[in-house]
Structure 1
Amino acid sequence: MKKIQIAGLSALTIFGSLSAVNAQSATTDPVGYTTVTCLANSDTIVSVPFLNSTDSISSSVSGSATADGTKAEFTMSGVSGLTTDQYATLYYVRFTSGTLEGNVYQITNNGADSVKIELNGDASTDITSGDTFKIYKFWTLGSLFPVGNDTIEESTGNLAFQRKSSILLPDNTSDGIQHAPAATYFLKSTGWTNNSNTSEDSSNVILWPDTYFIIRHSSLVQSATTYTATGTVDTHAKTSIPLSTRTDGPQDNYVSIPRPIDVKLNELNLFESGSFTPSTGNLSFQRRDQLLVFDNGVQAQRKAPSKIYFHNGTNWVDNGNVTGNADEAIIKASQGIIIRKYQTNDGATIFWNNTPTY
């Protein structure tokens, strides 16, 4: 198990590959940062492996949840006096105990002592009195990359030849594999806007904690920039990441690991949790689930994966070296990956329970 370096009482200081191992006890959740180099005229696939603890709340469910179509509403124990909808839309509930432990749900409304969440297909009956949870604020384009930041070069206008840096969000809703981005945004001196609607203010576009995004520098960007992610380290024992499947072919899931350290494949708990179907052999027609990794050190847009891994039921295997053992291959901090799920009989969503190695 890796140890995390603590500076002072509550700051997690992360350098380079995050291999520092000195540790001291801390009484609050540690905070820290990671850095990734974003090459010029290239795509960099990244995530935010930290929590945004702005206005966060820790509480528990009081009484039974009430169903309202696709939503559920419940009372928060020990919380009162909230302004109506002050946590709506830009905040989410993450359960820290109970049946839904580790799951994330966007808040649609809140009252003085209650919240209503979008269930994403789950049942309100899965929420029971006493279940603990935390409320966190989503990272947004504007909060992560405000005007004048050092990562995203501001475009000089709306036309294609005036665009410098863009953020591309992956498509996690369409069936199949190798999807085009769901949306593209770029930053001007006046703020973020949508590639398909340049009059739209996109500063509050949310970045989900279990997926990645792409920083694309166009050919107008002359030199590399640095993406620095900062925030609170997630120390909770369980994060649940949904993985979609379908009945008539493979399904790509564009995900990230919410941990600010490098992680070995055999530390992912992906196969061990039953979330990753092992292959029956090394040949292409025997492959089942696959894990695709991208190299941010390669200068290119629309990159092909640099590595594809599968599991043979005993250990991880590199597609390019099927006789080797890839258990200790590294997924870098802040890196996005694709989990390509093999078809299933029922097309059900499978939840990957990821636990920290620190």
Structure 2
Amino acid sequence: MIIAIDATSIGSGLGGDETLARGLLRGLARAVRAGDQVLVLAAHGAELPREALVDPAFAVERVTRRPGAVHFTLTMPWWLFRLADRGLRPDVVVATTHAPVRSPAPVALLVTDLSFRHVPDAYPAATRARLRLLIGRQVTTAAAVLTISEFCRQDLIATYGLPPAAVTVVPLSVDEPSPVDPPVRADLRRRGVREPYLLYLGNLHPRKNVPRAIAAFRRLQREPDAALESLQLVVAGRAWFGSSAEASAAAGAPAGAVLFLDRVSDAEREALLRDAVGLVYLSTFEGFGLPPLEAMARDTPVLASTATAIPEVCGDGALLVDPRDDGAIVAGMRRLVADGDLRERLVRAGRARVAHYGPAATGAALYGALTAVAARGATTPRGAHSPRTRLAG
């Protein structure tokens, strides 16, 4: 089987998309069989997983990263048809969020969530319109639809009327912990990180609910407990769409109590996760939610949301609270910091939870879905639509 996969998100600065693409490549490296080929489209200078660089089944072609409209209308089609002209016509193409407008081979489209439909006010009008129009069309013209949780699978089926057999869950995988680089830890201290601290890790998209987490943290600090007074909240992530709600929520807090780090490197991420008292992840809409699993892999207790896919992913490895209940959030933070028995239980359960989300599981699910597409030789999900709406090519 010849698999073509778009990995140009790696190196883009879009943390979740990068983590997803790296996990898919690592998973495929575990799953491919003798005679398979994995053709990877990557951006110049992007650091790919080692597996994609040393495995003889993988071949990487580098391109200049372009805006999405150019990438899906020009770059990807050019690459795919160029492969076909060289006798490397893929059996299946893996694309994320959007499919190429033309393809010589069936496309497996990976859609991470439908938050643009369920929390539309969290997106600028133009972005929301693009996602609604293109994803709504492309999930019915793809040869297979992939997604990252059973919650998302059921949402896709219900929202777009897709046949259940056409939608497959390919779970994300958690990177193995790596040693902390002492200079990185020292630099974080110079930038204002101090222990003990709670950590939020992820982008500052409105649905991540970070302003509410900040407000709850400030309430917690006002409680008459010296241990809580010294606690810090570190917010590591880049704001989307120019949001200032997080900074507004922190206005008036004691100096250094709430620290914003913007986007952090992988090495900084490792240090922050390992040294935190706990991770706070209170998103109101999530297709998966990888940071809680990353924290669990590093024995860091997690306070997470009861919303959407998060309970499915976290299971009993996190303390779950209603992300819209301010009192429950404050109480959850207090327990996460002060309840030693709870912390020990969460660490044990978290280790067990992480074991379900490795590259082997990702690769097995992805390879199985792609094998089914290649075997059918189809360009659409069975029963999803009429032949007139199939992919061009």
**TM-score strictly above 0.5:** no
The alignment's TM-score, normalised by the length of structure 2, stands at 0.24
In proportion to residue count, which structure has more helix?
Answer: 2
Q: Give the TM-score normalised by structure 1.
A: 0.26
Instruction: Please identify which structure carries the higher strand content.
Output: 1
